[in-house]
Structure 1
Amino acid sequence: MTNLSFAPMPDEQGYFGAYGGQYVPTELQKVMNDINAAYEEIRQCTEFQQELASLFADYVGRPSPIFHAKRLSDQLGGAQILLKREDLNHTGAHKINHCLGEALLAKFMGKKKVIAETGAGQHGVALATACALVGIPCEIHMGQADIEKEHPNVVKMKILGCNLISVTRGTATLKDAVDSAFEEYLKDPESFIYAIGSVVGPHPFPKMVRDFQSIIGTEAREQCLTRYKRLPDVVTACVGGGSNAIGIFTAFLDDTQVKLVGVEPAGEGLDTQRHAATLTKGKPGHLHGMACYVLEDEDGNPAPVHSIASGLDYPGIGPQHSYLNDLGRVDYDSVTDQETLDAFMRLSRVEGIIPALESAHAVAWAIRTAPTMQPNQQILVNLSGRGDKDADFVANLLNL
């Protein structure tokens, strides 16, 4: 492992080991290749890099700080818990990082409309924000169940001017929103661009979204070395599709002394059908144009999945995560809905930080693990989003 370099991933065909690729109709392969070519062109362009860096600094508010959750750490005993505060970004989560990149790419390519799906609404809000900034029409597909659950984000998307499409098919959640958005995209893929909201889908999206999100880990690694003169012992993040996790993991992949832990949603329990722990309980398959681990039903179709966090209830996972799991470089664990709720409330009341339910999965894992470690050790948690969107839902759930 110490001699393994992760920098070249993916290969030219978009594969991370056996995962990734382009499992799309032949006519779409050319479109995907055109997007890849445009992306490779602009990423080498100094003007693009300068514009993106300027927006990260002056629009998003980067770099996001690292906060030592001292009171929580003292209560738990054991390792010190550090939080990478992506929740402080403009729009409230890490999603703005890649949405700005995708919106600028769409503008560069002369696209007439940006289409996307959203689960918890963070990607939808971030993309609607980015499209308003660059002046491109935006259409967001969202499951009706999530629309009812994430009302604050729904209102924000409408204020920002996007066309919000309610998806009522199937379970009316994230997977169905992806299907609906992709169908709309297929109507005119030359004029539209599908701005995928995570490190999933056909090549080049897992690569592009990772690259835009990698600023999280790049900042965090430098911040830890500057402040603590060392790297953290553990870096952890929640995993649904996997964008915030791969964003922070990428900078640490070659630091094999740093343990990397992705936290999946165990929902109501891994012994039930009410979870979305893809790497823990799934197997290699194909979903939404990529080869990856998939949770399947008895008929071999993507299984209905569940998580208290709308942004994590997805039956697949990014191909790079699938590969890193097989390599053993990243450990993938899971926490339940109840552990997540407890962590949501504990961080709120001990540190005054209300996390997104998605991010609370990683906080829950840190709360569980810190007491088993030494006080001179550190767990760095990617706090990928804030919990404004979840506050009413949690309050109703707990009768607050």
Structure 2
Amino acid sequence: MIEFQAVTKRFDDGTVAVDELTLSVQAGTITVFVGPSGCGKTTSLRMVNRMVEPTGGTILVNGKDIRDSDPALLRRGIGYVIQQAGLFPHRSVLDNIATVPLLSGWTRRKARARAAELLETVGLPVELGKRYPAQLSGGQQQRVGVARALAADPPVLLMDEPFSAVDPVVREGLQDELLRLQAELDKTIVFVTHDIDEAVRIGEKIAVFRQGGVLAQYATPAELLTRPANDFVANFVGKDRGYRGLSFVEDGELDVRSVDTVQVGARRQAGTGWTLALDADNHPRGWLPPESIADGQVAESSLVPGGSLHVRGTALRGALDAALSSPAGLGVVVDEGGGYTGVVTAQQVLDLLEHRREQETGRV
């Protein structure tokens, strides 16, 4: 557990970066610090490993005041990941990962063996260990940065906007990888970002900071989206917070409907509505519009892209997005293996939400 007790950071020019911060980060969870630039979120993070010294208050890590620890020893016991990985360019990937174990007195053989093991843990082939950082993509460098932070198996991991320098597709993959690792390793993670979508996606608790280093709200993602504490939080979370809130509503009662389907490569008679094309494994491939071929063979080239897919048993946000992104206005629902199970409309999602509101207010 990490505890901030009335922690303040005031710089020599009188600027208050963090103002009386009090919160607890539960062990084995991901807590995200989020807010606009200059709000004190990174300063708060860096005070945990004493890269920035607090002006006042107390920070406890697992019940121990960080001021009672030598700063260098403290940092070796806390993993730290920064933007653009911060790797040593003149060292190989394996030697980068082995940095902290070597400083802690491990033999080179043991440290390198641990580094090779961690490459696989973060989803990279062991062969990359011989390369240098400049020979890796941005996403690979960030994974190496995570591996280096985990090398000495620290209980606490600090991550300062680690994924902000990569493109959106790579960023989503890195977020997925972090969630997978957390499920396996159960670390106490503090993650800094300026992106509320990233915060909602990975955080179990979110601390929203405002200018002046003031904590505006500390809550679960669902609470933050449905019950913002004040106008600042509401504006920061965004006007589409109701849509984001669907990420925390299960689709359990959502009924799927059937639609005309045809297999790619098969012959199809002209129809009056949209037809969903499937491959031989029952996976959706796209849509045939009503005015498409009459009595012709269905080819991939004649299909209209079908928008996103909703995996049955996941959150309603996926179902609504599938319906809104579909050219047919019908969101395609698939099972965990990607096989077609039916379709839903946006109205079905909205009706289900209304029904649940009525149940909650006692009108049903």
Q: Is the structural similarity TM-score above 0.5? A: no
| Structure with larger RCO (C-alpha < 8 A, sep 6+) | 1
- Shorter-normalised TM range: under 0.3
TM-score normalised per structure 1: 0.25
Larger Rg over CA atoms: 2
TM-score normalised per structure 2: 0.26
Larger proportion of helix: 1
Larger proportion of strand: 2
